[in-house]
């Protein structure tokens, strides 16, 4: 769906609410109270409020369409939210809060918070999946400044990030994960690998102890290619490419700033990369993810 079609489909508050209703109750209204399940409701329009309450005629429980979603208690019009989601989803280079504020006609703090919440919805959806099969694993460093020339890799003061890329039988990249860790010690890295990579499979790494331990825990076939080996650039081509693309994205869109939000930038990159063949359909997927996710206050 292109931008024109999107704005025509979700151009009014009523359009957006009809979408939310269908997403929330695809087979018609069902009271969310666990011991009720009533199917009939009244609509309640409150004074000076655009949100409509749905009251179950059986137990009189009231619920709004936005309750429990990313739009919970929002003061921003739903068409503005939907347009923001479209822009964040389809722009391969990413869109900054400054750009969103200008395009949506909202203040910078409002655009920043909207962007933050959309990224959290991306992170929630990313966390549902694990890499499997043939997986390349490595680590990289994002941000920070090295202490002098030649101080690279595990000797820098930059933030370490664990990176994984699953490959097809033909050696093409399928899915990726990138997760910032406090250090490249065994405990934090193994925790990431446990969440991000499926059991068994085949792992490729540079032989670092943390990946050897992870492979053992996952009962994976661990294939080691040392960084100094002549074939290393070819073996780790795709994981190195993903690292380069992620750094380019963060530096280009966010200018390398925001250490506290670095993982959210990585989640945004992951979400789009893993759906790079969806075209503009990625906006529909992200909108559904925003409806399905829980509210994310800034403190989260």
Show me where the domains of the chain are located.
3-126, 134-273
- Looking at residue 185, its pLDDT comes to 94
**pLDDT tens, the chain, 300 aa long:** 899 999 999 999 999 999 999 999 999 999 999 899 899 999 998 777 777 899 999 999 999 999 889 998 888 999 999 999 999 999 988 899 999 999 999 999 999 999 999 999 999 999 999 999 999 999 999 875 443 343 345 555 578 999 999 999 999 999 999 999 999 999 999 999 999 999 999 999 999 999 999 999 999 999 999 989 999 999 999 999 999 999 999 887 776 555 668 899 999 999 999 999 999 999 999 999 999 988 766 544
**What is the pTM (predicted TM-score) of this model?**
0.89
Q: How far is CA 33 from the centre of its chain?
A: 30
In the sheet that holds 41-45, the strands lie side by side as: 41-45, 52-56, 62-64
- Looking at residue 148, its pLDDT comes to 38
- Looking at residue 259, its pLDDT comes to 67
- Looking at residue 104, its pLDDT comes to 96
- The CATH number for 134-273, chosen from 2.30.30.240, 3.40.640.10, 3.20.20.220, 3.30.420.10, is 3.30.420.10
């Amino acid at each position: 769906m292109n931008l024109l079609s999107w704005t025509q489909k979700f151009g009014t508050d009523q359009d957006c609410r009809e979408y939310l209703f269908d997403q929330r109750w695809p087979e018609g209204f069902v009271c969310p109270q666990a011991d009720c399940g009533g199917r009939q409701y009244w609509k309640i329009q409150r004074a000076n409020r655009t949100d409509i309450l749905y009251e179950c005629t059986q137990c009189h429980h009231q619920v709004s369409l936005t309750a429990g979603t990313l739009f919970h208690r929002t003061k921003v019009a739903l068409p503005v939210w939907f347009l923001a989601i479209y822009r964040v989803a389809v722009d391969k280079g990413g869109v900054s809060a400054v750009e969103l504020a200008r395009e949506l006609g909202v203040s910078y703090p409002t655009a920043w918070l909207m962007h933050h919440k959309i990224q959290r919805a991306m992170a929630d959806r990313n966390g549902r999946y694990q890499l499997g099969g043939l997986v390349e694993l490595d680590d990289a460093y994002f941000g920070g400044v090295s202490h002098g020339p030649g101080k690279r890799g595990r000797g820098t003061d930059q933030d370490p990030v664990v990176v994984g890329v699953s490959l097809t039988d033909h050696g093409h990249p399928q899915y990726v994960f990138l997760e910032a860790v406090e250090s490249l010690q065994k405990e934090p890295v193994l925790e990431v690998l446990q969440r991000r990579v499926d059991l068994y499979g085949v792992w490729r790494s540079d032989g670092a102890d943390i990946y050897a331990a992870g492979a053992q825990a996952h009962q994976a076939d661990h294939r080691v290619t040392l960084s100094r080996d002549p074939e290393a650039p070819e073996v780790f081509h795709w994981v190195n490419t993903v690292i380069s693309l992620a750094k380019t994205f963060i530096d280009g869109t966010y200018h390398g700033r925001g250490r506290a939000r670095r993982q959210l930038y990585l989640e945004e990159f992951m979400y789009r990369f893993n759906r790079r063949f969806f075209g503009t359909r990625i906006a529909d997927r992200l909108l559904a993810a925003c409806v399905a996710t829980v509210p994310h206050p800034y403190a989260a």
